[in-house]
Amino acid sequence: MAAPSKVVAPRPLREADLSRVEGVFTDVDGTLTTGHRLRADTVRALERLSASGLRVVLVSGRPAGWGEAWARQLPVDGVIVENGGLFFLRGKHGRLRKVYAEGPAERAANRKRLQAEVARVLRQVPGARLSLDSAYTEVDLAVDYNEEARLGDAGASRIEALLTARGVTAVRSSVHVNCWLGRFDKLSATRRFAKVAWGERLEPGDGRYVYSGDSFNDAPMFAAFALGVGVANVRSVLDRIDAPPAFITRAAEGRGFEELARAILARRGRLGL
């Protein structure tokens, strides 16, 4: 049996070169939220980033229903939800536009099969249940392990394993095991969002954009972004995550994001931007 690969420890945020940053993509649960709630100071950090001319996009496993509300009410340029299944952005005349990763026929077929596969797993894992907000999803489903439910890491891992064995993509956030059928994830959706919204191609290692996150489903983003930043609570999964962030904040959850926002804005101030 091969020895496990050595985990590369993230560097302190102060070592990150933020001089070229034009925008921030960020996870929500455990990254913007603190104790499952969005603090006023964290919303203010989003406001300050947006007011300074930076692009801000939320990237979450939460449902489409949440995404529409966030896109309308928060100071952001767009919202990617359901782990990349769809996103919202401002179209012509400021109208909200919804873009899916897949066409209607494929979504319908995948949805039907996904519901059956998840129902099968829920019967196999005592205490497992859909998240309350799964009612507002369109593409994926979420099994609650750490919001209202308390299944722990062992329960989440069993759910992931059972779903993966059935050909379902399953990856956990800090609160749910998100599961879906389809060729998308947070990273593919982020690249498509940049192309559709801004006509830009996100290059590997692009130093113009930061990604902040905290959990397993952020790994593809950490691998792709040279400025991948984990808020401090990401330490709890560093020994198990597929790709760690390059940098880490001192503070956890929303306060860690606020720390990142201050660092970006301070750098822009020094550059006279």
pLDDT over 60 (residue 152):
yes
Instruction: Tell me, yes or no, whether 91 lies in a domain.
Output: yes
* pLDDT-based confidence at residue 204 (cuts at 50, 70, 90): confident
Q: At 36, which amino acid appears?
A: H
pLDDT over 70 (residue 3):
no
pLDDT over 80 (residue 124):
yes
User: Looking at residue 30, what DSSP letter applies?
Assistant: T
Domain ranges, residue 90: 17-100+184-271
Angle between helices 152-165 and 104-124 (to 10 degrees): 130
Confidence at residue 92, expressed as pLDDT on a 0 to 100 scale: 76
Q: How far apart are CA 146 and CA 47, in angstroms?
A: 29
Instruction: Tell me, yes or no, whether 57 lies in a domain.
Output: yes
Instruction: Tell me, yes or no, whether 8 lies in a domain.
Output: no
Confidence at residue 273, expressed as pLDDT on a 0 to 100 scale: 59
Confidence at residue 270, expressed as pLDDT on a 0 to 100 scale: 65
Tokens of 110: 């995948």
Q: How far apart are CA 57 and CA 196, in angstroms?
A: 13
Q: Which of 27, 71, 35, 23 is nearest to 200 (CA)?
A: 23
At which of 180, 199, 214 does a domain end? Answer: 180
Instruction: Tell me, yes or no, whether 135 lies in a domain.
Output: yes
Residue 155: CATH number of its domain: 3.90.1070.10
Q: What is the pLDDT of residues 215-256, one digit of tens each?
A: 999 999 999 999 999 999 999 999 999 999 999 999 999 999
Q: What is the pLDDT of residues 107-117, one digit of tens each?
A: 999 999 999 99
Q: Which helix H or strand E contains 169, and what residues bound it?
A: strand 169-172
Mean pLDDT value of segment 195-218: 93
Q: How far apart are CA 75 and CA 191, in angstroms?
A: 21
pLDDT over 80 (residue 103):
yes
At which of 146, 180, 214 does a domain end? Answer: 180
Q: Kindly state whether residues 84 and 217 are assigned to the same domain.
A: yes
φ, ψ of residue 78 to 5 degrees: the values are -175, 170
Confidence at residue 272, expressed as pLDDT on a 0 to 100 scale: 60
* pLDDT-based confidence at residue 2 (cuts at 50, 70, 90): very low
Cβ 180 vs Cβ 189: under 8 Å: no
* pLDDT-based confidence at residue 4 (cuts at 50, 70, 90): very low
User: Looking at residue 236, what DSSP letter applies?
Assistant: G
Phi-psi sector, 152: left (phi>0), alpha (psi -120 to 50), beta = left
* pLDDT-based confidence at residue 267 (cuts at 50, 70, 90): confident
Q: Which of 197, 204, 254, 198 is nearest to 26 (CA)?
A: 254
Q: How far apart are CA 119 and CA 122, in angstroms?
A: 5
pLDDT over 70 (residue 194):
yes
Residue 203: CATH number of its domain: 3.40.50.1000
Instruction: Tell me, yes or no, whether 9 lies in a domain.
Output: no
Q: What is the mean pLDDT of the chain?
A: 93
Mean pLDDT value of segment 208-221: 95
3-state helix, strand, coil in the chain (%, to 5): 45, 20, 35
What's the number of domains the chain is made of? 2
pLDDT over 90 (residue 271):
no
* pLDDT-based confidence at residue 1 (cuts at 50, 70, 90): very low
Give this prediction's pTM: 0.93
Q: How far apart are CA 165 and CA 6, in angstroms?
A: 27
Rg of the chain taking only CA atoms, in angstroms: 18
Q: Kindly state whether residues 143 and 192 are assigned to the same domain.
A: no
Instruction: Tell me, yes or no, whether 3 lies in a domain.
Output: no
